[in-house]
Structure 1
Amino acid sequence: MKILLMLLVFVVVMVSGCGQDNTESVYDKDQDQAGMDLNREGDGVREGDGPNFSRDQDDGMTMTDQNPNLLNTDNENHHSFSQDVQKAKDVISDAGYEPGSIWINGGEMNVTAQLEGHVTRNDREKAQKTLQQKLAKALPRYDINVDIQ
């Protein structure tokens, strides 16, 4: 008897939950909180304020322009290590040397350059010093280590 009574209460609770009618809702089913019709024909763009509204789309704004947490990848002024490596290669070439391997490790740039022909130790040290000064002037953000081969 207890099992039958518990089963009956369970069925009543289950059936009563399915029969709710949300007529107390302030909004109609076809409207959002602002009272705008969501099911209208057209392109789906509404008038108003925000990223998906026609006024902002006419101004050329996109979601990436408005969200400060997104990276700005289309900026031409953004820093790239490949630009620094290319700048170092240009400085080495302009100084009259053949650029070798260049790598960046944190705030340190390691540069290798080759001299043509047989060079004395004194000439190699002099070339290393002048090249290091030129690179430090061109790329002041790095501590530059130059190796002449």
Structure 2
Amino acid sequence: MTFDKDFLRDNDLGLLLLRLMTGGLMLFHGIHKLLYGVSAIEGMLAGIGLPGFIAYFSLAAELAASLLIVVGAWTRVAAAVMVGNMAVAILMAHLGDIFSVDPMTGGWAIELPMLYLLGAAVLCLTGGGKYALTKGHITD
């Protein structure tokens, strides 16, 4: 039995794992909002003078964009939606923590939302890869 060293250098497999991580883990947030509502986000929006219905865009982004990223359909567009969603989430819920370190872990206080944002940003630049449903197009 021989070991294929190129398996460890498979960019397309790496993009699949990035899609599964970014979209798959964000999907849990969307499902939570679907099951339990978006009232917390509506409250934050009301607190800054914006209409509460905007919270449903977050729900849609976290469900639809996440699913599209996982299956690799219109990956660049879905990832751009996720980048926007995460940028708004950081500005609304984590603005005061941008220059903070979590005293319990020593990590950046906004590392989780930034992991989603940056993972999606990479997918905007790369597309979904060979193991995506749509590939080879400007919007893959």
Same fold (TM over 0.5): no
Q: Structure 2 length as normaliser, TM-score?
A: 0.26
| Larger strand proportion of the pair | 1
**Superposition TM-score, scaled by structure 1 size:** 0.25
Return the structure number with greater helix share.
2
**Larger Rg computed on CA atoms:** 1
Structure scoring higher RCO (CA < 8 A, sep ≥ 6) equals 2
